[in-house]
Amino acid sequence: MSQPVRETRPPAQPTVFVMYGATGDLARRLVLPAFFELARQGLLPEQWRLVGTSRGDEDTAWFRDHVREALEEFGPQPGEGPWEDFSARLSYAGGGFSADDAGSLPARVAEARDAVGADAQLVHYLAVPPGAALGITRAIEAHGLAEGCRIVYEKPYGTDLASFEELDAEVQRVFDESQVFRIDHFLAFEAVRNLVGARFANTLLGAVWNREHVEQVQIDIAETLDVAQRADFYDATGAFLDMIVTHLFQLAATVAMETPADLSADAVRAARDAALADFRAVDPAEVVLGQFEGYRDIDGVADDSSTDTLAAVRLWVDSERWRGVPFLLRSGKKMAADEQRITLLLRRPEGPLTELPERPSALSFSLLEGGRIEVALIVKALGVGEELTTGTAALPLPSLPGTDAPPYVKLIHDVLTGDRALFTGVEGLRNAWQAIEPFQQARPEVLPYAEGTWGPDAVEELAAPRQWFLR
């Protein structure tokens, strides 16, 4: 398998970024800090500008203060990098942006292009709710900002199959597919990228990556936090649409994909999309939805809300490699721990050892704190006896050579260099929406669960006859 050489230097072409939803929660927590980290690491072009835009009427001075406050809250701290130079390259276009009214955005983009050069690459970044993406796409075309640009769409790309098809038809009409980057930042976690690297670089792992050796695949994205400042968005979306059909489906496809011809962007994305095509339609009877007690007391949440703050799914992948192996997906708020983990539970071997520990052998990839690969093995306990126990060996990824690249840092850099390997493919997204149609037509009842737990009791039943690795 050939391995492509990926660019790690800053691109030479001057670039103007336009960030839609620049004052929103996603931009504040993740995207703006990633831009500053790119500046700290010297990975932005020598000539660049960032134009923020939103519906408010604020000015550039206010926006620079807003970005500084975001960095002070979420890091890196302004004093840890070139803040004065960075902030001087920021500007703001208020008043909204639509096909009928461009507001001040075209003027701010023209000013930015004048500052960095007429040949500047234009990159549109849509850090907006899914309902806003269609209108912004049409506005970009209407005001002459589509030709030769690159455009980044945040997840979810649509909210069901019909809205996905409507949005994508317009995207395909306005842009060439090579211009489009559909983001799912979980694909860029170091541990997820190492899941691919370790599998294909080590025969020890590659040999067990199939139904003969793996009994279950479990993917957990658990948070102890509530919905924080995202109440309006979250109450209209829920855990299943926010996490399962987006992030966790993409992680499941990364585990399930067949060996690509090489590790080029097109080959990797095609392998992931092919795995999504093998997802069996989700049976509503194999879905558990939950809502933590007290959710309806949050400002912005309806008193009678039936929104799911937890979703768990037993998914089946009908490929020769994985047929009969359940993929258990779970994500929720106000759970027992903050965890992001992909685990392959290994089958119990046939042989003379019959009294094995309850906790099985496993290969586990933790996404948190820079990532960690863990191997849990059943071994003999110390002492004169022959009792068996389960022990774990861990490899913290930050201990490896190199400089850590948080997901959004990696993905924005890939947009600059044109590398689409870690971005979702349109056919894969279509397959994902098709797989959940039966669920959307017959959603199960939302069950209550106590804060600080792993969800309703029915979640445990999905893993039977085994148990969740996280419990």
Per-residue pLDDT, averaged over 31-43, amounts to 97
Per-residue pLDDT, averaged over 432-449, amounts to 97
Structural contact between residues 179 and 360, judged by C-beta atoms closer than 8 angstroms: no
The sign of the CA dihedral 223, 225, 226, 229 is: negative
Assess whether pLDDT exceeds 50 at residue 289.
Answer: yes
DSSP string, 378-420: EEEPSSSS--EEEEEEEEEGGGSSS----HHHHHHHHHHHT--
387 is in an annotated binding site: no
Q: Which residue ranges form the domains of the chain, and what is each CATH number? A: 15-154 (3.40.50.720), 186-406+447-462 (3.30.360.10)
21 is in an annotated binding site: yes
Name the residue type at position 6: R
Structural contact between residues 152 and 124, judged by C-beta atoms closer than 8 angstroms: yes
223 is in an annotated binding site: yes
Close Cβ partners of 303 (under 8 Å, ≥ 6 residues apart): 296
Per-residue pLDDT, averaged over 371-385, amounts to 92
392 is in an annotated binding site: no
Assess whether pLDDT exceeds 90 at residue 324.
Answer: yes
Distance in angstroms (rounded) separating the CA atoms of residues 132 and 127: 10
Structural contact between residues 30 and 408, judged by C-beta atoms closer than 8 angstroms: yes
How many C-beta atoms surround the C-beta of residue 449 within 10 A? 23
Per the annotation, the verdict on 66 as an active-site residue is no
Quote the Cα angle for 290-291-294, to 5°.
155
| Predicted pLDDT at 7 | 56
| Predicted pLDDT at 285 | 97
Three-state SS string over 110-150 comes to HHHHHHHCCCCEEEEEECCCHHHHHHHHHHHHHCCCCCCCE
E strand intervals along 321-371:
326-332, 339-346, 362-366
| Predicted pLDDT at 243 | 96
Active-site option among 124, 143, 213, 247: 247
Q: Write down the pTM of the prediction.
A: 0.94
275 is in an annotated binding site: no
